[in-house]
Amino acid sequence: MIISKNWLNEYIDLSAISGEQILKTLNSIGLEVDSYKEIKIPDSIVVGYVKSREKHPNADKLSVCEVDIGTEVLQIVCGAPNVAAGLFVPVALLGTKMPNGLEIKKAKLRGVESCGMICSSVELGLAKINDGIMPLDNSIGELSLGRSLSDFEVFNDVVIEVDITANRGDAQSIYGIARELSVAFDLNFKEKPEYREVDNLPGIGRLISLRTDENIKSSFLYKAIAIKSYLGENLFTKLRLALAECDKKNSLERLLYYVTYSSGVLFRAYDFDKLAKVGEKANFDIKVGENGESIVMVKDKILSVAGIYQNDDAKVDDDTKIAIIEASFSDPKIISEASALDKQMPRDEHLYRSSRGSEPQLGLGMGLLFRKINLLDEISPYAGDSKHALKSEQIMLNFNVADINKMIGQNIDKNEILRILKKLGFEVVFNQVAEIFNVKAPIYRHDIVNLHDVCEEIVRIVGIDNIHAKAMKFSETNRINDTYETYKFALKLRQRAVGAGYFESVHYVFDNSSELANMGFKKCKVEVTNPLSAELDSLRPSLVNHLLNSTERNIKNSKKSVKLFEYGAVFDQDGEQSSNLGFVASGLRYEPSLLNGAKVADIDFFAFANSIQSVIGEFTLKPSDQICYLNPYEQAKIYQNGKCVGYIGGLHQNVQSQRDLPKTYLCEIYFDKLERENKIANVYSKFPSIGRDLSLIVPDGLEFVKIAECIKGLKLKELKEFAPVDIYRSAELGKNASISVKFVFQDDEKTLEDADVAEYMDKILKALKSDLDIGIR
């Protein structure tokens, strides 16, 4: 945002305040200054009058001019295309040192003597207003020949560029910056004459009517003007618009841009003849859009969306005779949401201001515009207006003086707090007895929503440099919480996985939707609106697809044994996030080497399951056939403490073939379901253990878990562990199989004898016979 001291001076009296003070104050109140420039025209650049202009005899693009500077007539050779007789111009006399360092000397240009220079705005150190010299007019003050340009106020100025943060839309205008400085310098605003309509003007009611939907989040104010002849532009306005970096071409649009830059109110102009036929009214219909935006329509045709864009169909041009002027304000939250949700919606320069918060006092901007219009003979205004006001109630905030001082860390007098808040436009009610403030932020400060925001306003006006520094106090608190415990548990499992020979892999939380569909995963209802690529267009429901892709790449890179794991977020069909721990083992058990030998066995189910058990602890398996991308005869659900915490199995042969993989096993653990129990140290027995093997004849297909449950049901405290060690099948066994189970017995208080062990074995055999009809071989 580029501002100038002279422009600010139209709102508040800064005549006694230097540019350096303004610079320092802007920085102190949170409006960071990016650049600072003082404009001072040299005294030897004066007002001249071009008496004549003749073509240069030896150059097509040069002119020989006679320029009257009051005391003498100078011959000056000029190359500007717009120089002409009858113009008042700035003339740099001989000996002048220009702002760019150039010194003006008498010279001959193509054989013709030149005694001075007719200047452009850029050569004077001003913003560029055209491609030639800068013609002068009375808009800058009374022109008298030979008068130094340094005598004109417009050429003695301070130009400051301020970096406005996105939450401070209220400071995106000269008026907004002046409002801030009025508080910092404790200045009152200058009184502006009210715009008063003259009698016997035609009314706007004969041109337009206005209808609005209920609950629109915008304010609108419409007025009309008749353009009688070409709308010119004086030097003062050109200089201001050049400072504001206006690139518009149409004179009326440039005037509206000027008023917007000055007041902060957003304006649009419509060509009435493009809206209605002769004798008809233009019926403006303002509707609420799909995302809450306000759509301006005439005859079901969209003219604009308030604060976002305007169609070209009804824009004003150089042939416009009657223009409908629209001032608008829209809730910046609605503007931001609507423009973000509808990426296809057109947008123009209004969006930058409206999404941050434009000036809601529409009458302020419209009054400034029509005061300027009253000075123009080329425009005739219509009487009256049509308007719709946004009904908005600001949040009421309550706080006492002690609270605010505690937050600031320093005592601020309650009267100073009251002054600051009122100057900033807050509605303030102060309870003297309880010393409680009840405040409402002004409507143009949508960024103020809580007490901390109010505190920030007070601090920035008081000045952060005026708040006394205090030593920081450190008070250590217990940092162990659920998040920390989860992190430590995940870290422990990851370290165990590395110890078990797995390499950790990290992937995006996004995955390829087509690959997921081929594996049987249902599509997530939460869509990725702006995916990183076509291959990462969906939230991943599982870790396995990424792990398989990484395995495939490693196998293609001649790896014989691939063992990977990943800990990361996954998302269910409704988009709910959880954490999983995934494993994959493919090919050989380990890479062949001199130590391992050249012939290494392939990975198998039991070796894979044993490695997983070394990571997450003991678990039991229950057969399953529900996971379509696993072998239906080689998959199981993993249980710990009676809860299903994951699944394990061999990759389906079809999937292996499609991905050109060797024998591959997968496991995915539902991390959030794992129990993080503390390890309990128990006294171990000092007496020796005794082992016994038992060969049982069991029906082929009987799950070992049933045998284990039967044995555990006996609750023999001396039985420390048991596990199957061999399975034997033969024709003579028929539909049965022989399973060898190893038992380990140990007593905590004595050495067990053979008779004790035989008694325990008898109990086990009786239970197996009675419950499962199983006997010894």
Residue 415, both tokens: 């009267």
Question: Would you say 454 and 439 are in contact if contact means Cβ atoms under 8 Å apart?
Answer: yes
pLDDT band at 20 (very low <50, low <70, confident <90, very high): very high
Residue 443, both tokens: 């409507």
Give the whole-angstrom CA distance, residue 164 versus residue 171: 7
Q: Which residues of 585-600 are buried (b: 16+ CB within 10 A; e: fewer)?
A: bbbbbbeeeeeeeeeb
- Measured from the Cβ of residue 436, the count of other Cβ atoms closer than 10 Å reads 15
Give the whole-angstrom CA distance, residue 87 versus residue 82: 10
Q: Please state the length of the chain.
A: 777
Residue 101 has pLDDT above 80, yes or no: yes
- Nearest in space to 686 (alpha carbons), one of 752, 747, 745, 755: 747
Give the whole-angstrom CA distance, residue 546 versus residue 584: 10
Residue 463's pLDDT is what?
85
Residue 199's pLDDT is what?
82
- Nearest in space to 404 (alpha carbons), one of 469, 454, 460: 454
CA angle, 34 then 309 then 323, to 5°: 105
Give the whole-angstrom CA distance, residue 387 versus residue 223: 9
Residue 175's pLDDT is what?
96
DSSP helix/strand/coil, 707: helix
* Three-state helix/strand/coil letters over 599-626: CCCECCHHHHHHHHHHHHCCCEEEECCC
Residue 18's pLDDT is what?
94
Residues 6+ apart with CB under 8 A from 455: 404, 407, 408
DSSP per-residue codes, 518-562? HTTPPPPSS--SS-SSTTS-EE-S-SHHHHHHHHHHHHHTT-SEE
Q: What value does the mean pLDDT take over residues 484-512?
A: 94
DSSP per-residue codes, 628-649? TTEEEEEEEEEEETTEEEEEEE
Q: Which residue has the higher pLDDT, 112 or 472?
A: 112
Q: Report helix angle 235-243 to 251-263, nearest 10.
A: 60
Question: Would you say 563 and 584 are in contact if contact means Cβ atoms under 8 Å apart?
Answer: yes
- CA dist list (Å): 555 to 102, 546, 609, 652, 744: 72, 14, 21, 17, 42
CA 96 to chain centre: 51
Give the whole-angstrom CA distance, residue 272 versus residue 599: 90
pLDDT band at 597 (very low <50, low <70, confident <90, very high): low
* Three-state helix/strand/coil letters over 439-468: EECCCCCCCCCCHHHHHHHHHHHHCHHHCC
Residue 393's pLDDT is what?
79
- Measured from the Cβ of residue 221, the count of other Cβ atoms closer than 10 Å reads 21
Question: Would you say 494 and 533 are in contact if contact means Cβ atoms under 8 Å apart?
Answer: no
- Nearest in space to 746 (alpha carbons), one of 693, 692, 694, 688: 688
DSSP per-residue codes, 388-453? E-----PPEEEEEHHHHHHHHTS---HHHHHHHHHHTT-EEEEETTTTEEEEE--TT-TT--SHHH
Residue 16 has pLDDT above 80, yes or no: yes
- Which of 293-297, 414-418, 424-428 is predicted most confidently? 293-297
pLDDT band at 308 (very low <50, low <70, confident <90, very high): very high
Q: Which residues of 530-557 are buried (b: 16+ CB within 10 A; e: fewer)?
A: eeeeeebbbbbbbbbbbbbbbbbebbee
Residue 603's pLDDT is what?
93
- CA dist list (Å): 744 to 473, 704, 708, 723, 726: 60, 18, 14, 9, 16
- 10 Å CB burial of residue 122 (0-12, 13-18, 19+) is middle
CA angle, 334 then 33 then 425, to 5°: 50
Residue 198 has pLDDT above 90, yes or no: no
Residue 87, both tokens: 């113009």
What value does the mean pLDDT of the chain take? 92
Give the whole-angstrom CA distance, residue 677 versus residue 77: 94
Residues 6+ apart with CB under 8 A from 95: 44, 103, 104, 105
Residue 598's pLDDT is what?
65
- Nearest in space to 501 (alpha carbons), one of 419, 409, 564: 564
Residues 6+ apart with CB under 8 A from 459: 408, 467
Tens of pLDDT, residues 2-12: 999 999 999 99
- Nearest in space to 369 (alpha carbons), one of 326, 331, 320, 330: 326
Residues 6+ apart with CB under 8 A from 27: 33
DSSP helix/strand/coil, 319: coil
Tens of pLDDT, residues 567-578: 999 999 999 999
Q: Report helix angle 401-408 to 414-423, nearest 10.
A: 90
Residue 223's pLDDT is what?
96
Residue 724, both tokens: 């199957």
Q: What value does the mean pLDDT take over residues 724-747?
A: 90
Residues 6+ apart with CB under 8 A from 101: none
Q: Where are the alpha helices (DSSP H) in 185-225?
A: none
Q: What value does the mean pLDDT take over residues 80-85?
A: 94
Tens of pLDDT, residues 377-403: 899 999 999 999 988 778 899 988 888
Place of tokens 């308007």: 387
Residue 77, both tokens: 């050779």
Q: What value does the mean pLDDT take over residues 549-558?
A: 94
